[in-house]
């Protein structure tokens, strides 16, 4: 791939515009970990892209061209890889699973995960999904009756941990009904620590452990003990079933499928790799979907008319049920998914994607040697009026099929390819359908059964980047309809 003009002179990374930095530190002092993504976006607006900043002495190029993003995503994993420090640190955490793994190990693991998260599998799993959603409804009903402010981000993470565990591992930790479940608290530490260590100028934890590092190490040791126990129980179930039935029963969940593959002769897969994918699923399943729904609540909690519309739409699909009763009815809840999609357009859960070329490439007239760090910003394209009409406005209708048809007639911009929250190309997120089902279930349950008001000033809610961009808080008061 070569986007360089034949006639234009080839530029080097050092020729790109750059914010002023300091010797040795580069631009580190200008990038507060919690809000560095906002600084990167501001520099893009001021300097144009591509530009380069320096992470200590390491140059990092920054881009916001949506066509380039798609081209890079298409050429993974053979020409580009994810930002190498992410994989290196996740290996240390014992969490180098499908999200971060590179090379030949990726494809067989991808097939397993795609099977576990396929539409037929999720459709068969729907009754369990509905039961966990009912559990969340009961929790919120108690809060409403007691007049208690709900920490929505925490409750949504409990919901997604329960869903992911039940679907992928056949065991439900029921964090929604058990007020203090250690595994949920421990998982919440992983992404912030990943962000801290990825952004550290050197691997200080190899030489000295601060109290936070020691606490994290203890938490990860507990998490891995929990995962090995999951694996042990799954193997025991598989042996018992094999003893009762001479025919080979198909795996019932992702963990059993991974263990069956691992235990097959000559698989080349280790227990450590299985454990890494278990942990990857737990973390990824908890964080991104919960955050997408939480950002939607920022808009729902301040818009009574939208809530009323959603309540009517949801009640038509739910009938007399408190939770959407069937997979078929769930498919009617397009608006419930649209409010989450539109919220994450304005507040992207993944504010940028990070890659490195595996060989020298030339992009937009710039020569990038192998290993050059590349950050590809997501929000600028989603806020571009050439991609979305009136991009500053929160408008869930822009994602509905009938509205898109009307927009096309009126020549209003709507470019779905500019929305990259699930990635694209061969490594597009395998959990995107599960995420959509969870969004529809939770938003329909909430709006059909409750009215919700934000319990703080919306201006006091900020984006905090802990690898994903999460709301600083999302407290809500619920009342029964």
Question: Which residues is 367 bridged to in the sheet?
Answer: 362
Bind-site residues: 429
| Backbone phi and psi for residue 445, each to the nearest 5 degrees, phi listed first | -60, -45
| Contact (Cβ atoms closer than 8 angstroms) between residue 424 and residue 73 | yes
CA distance 302 to 304: 6
The HSE-up count of residue 300 (CA atoms within 13 Å, CB side) is 35
Bind-site residues for heme: 429
- What angle (nearest 5°) sits at the alpha carbon of residue 292, between those of residues 347 and 306? 85
β-pairing, 80-82 vs 352-357, is antiparallel
In order, the DSSP letters of 22-51 are BTTTBTGGG--GGGHHHHHHHHHHHH-SSE
Residue 219 CB partners (closer than 8 Å, separation 6+) = 185, 186, 189
Q: How far is CA 372 from CA 68, 81, 83, 197, 360, in A?
A: 15, 11, 9, 19, 9
Residue 165 CB partners (closer than 8 Å, separation 6+) = 171, 172, 173, 282
Q: What are the structure tokens assigned to 129, written together?
A: 């999904």
């Amino acid at each position: 791939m070569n986007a360089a003009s034949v006639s234009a002179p080839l530029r080097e990374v050092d020729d790109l515009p750059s914010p002023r930095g300091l010797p040795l530190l580069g631009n580190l002092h200008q990038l507060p970990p919690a809000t560095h993504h906002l600084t990167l976006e501001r520099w893009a607006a001021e300097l144009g892209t591509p530009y380069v900043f320096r992470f200590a002495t390491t140059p990092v190029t920054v881009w916001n061209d949506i066509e380039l993003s798609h081209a890079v995503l298409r050429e993974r994993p053979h020409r580009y890889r994810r930002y190498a420090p992410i994989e290196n640190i996740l290996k240390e955490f014992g969490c180098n699973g499908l999200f971060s793994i590179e090379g030949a190990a990726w494809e067989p693991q991808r097939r397993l995960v795609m099977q576990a998260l396929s539409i037929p599998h999720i459709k068969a799993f729907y009754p369990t999904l509905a039961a966990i959603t009912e559990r969340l409804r009961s929790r919120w009903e108690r809060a409403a009756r007691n007049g208690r402010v709900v920490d929505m981000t925490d409750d949504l993470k409990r919901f997604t941990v329960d869903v992911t565990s039940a679907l992928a591992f056949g065991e439900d930790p029921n964090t929604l009904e058990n007020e203090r479940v250690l595994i949920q608290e421990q998982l919440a530490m992983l992404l912030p620590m990943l962000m801290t260590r990825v952004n550290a100028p050197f691997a200080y934890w190899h030489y000295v452990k601060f109290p936070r590092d020691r606490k994290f190490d203890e938490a990860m040791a507990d998490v891995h003990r929990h995962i090995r126990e999951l694996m042990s129980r799954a193997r025991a179930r598989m042996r018992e079933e094999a003893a009762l039935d001479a025919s080979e029963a198909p795996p019932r969940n992702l963990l059993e499928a991974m263990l069956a593959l691992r235990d097959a002769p000559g698989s080349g897969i280790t227990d450590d790799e299985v454990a890494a994918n278990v942990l990857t699923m737990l973390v990824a399943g908890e964080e991104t979907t919960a955050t997408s729904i939480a950002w939607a609540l920022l808009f729902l909690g301040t818009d009574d008319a939208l809530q009323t519309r959603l309540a009517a739409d949801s009640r038509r699909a739910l009938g007399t049920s408190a939770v959407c009763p069937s997979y078929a009815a769930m498919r009617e809840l397009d608006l419930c998914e649209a409010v989450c999609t539109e919220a994450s357009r304005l507040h992207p859960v993944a504010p940028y994607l990070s890659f490195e070329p595996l060989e020298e490439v030339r992009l937009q007239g710039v020569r990038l040697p192998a290993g050059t760090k590349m950050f590809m910003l997501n929000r600028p394209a989603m806020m571009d009026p050439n991609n979305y009409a009136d991009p500053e406005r929160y408008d869930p209708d822009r994602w509905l099929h009938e509205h898109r048809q009307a927009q096309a007639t009126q020549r209003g911009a709507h470019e779905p390819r500019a929305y990259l929250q699930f990635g694209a190309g061969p490594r597009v997120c395998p959990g995107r359908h599960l995420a959509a089902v969870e969004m529809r279930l939770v938003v329909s349950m909430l709006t059909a059964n409750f009215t919700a008001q934000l319990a703080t000033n919306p201006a006091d809610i900020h984006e905090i980047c802990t690898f994903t961009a999460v709301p600083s808080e999302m407290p809500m008061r619920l009342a029964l309809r």
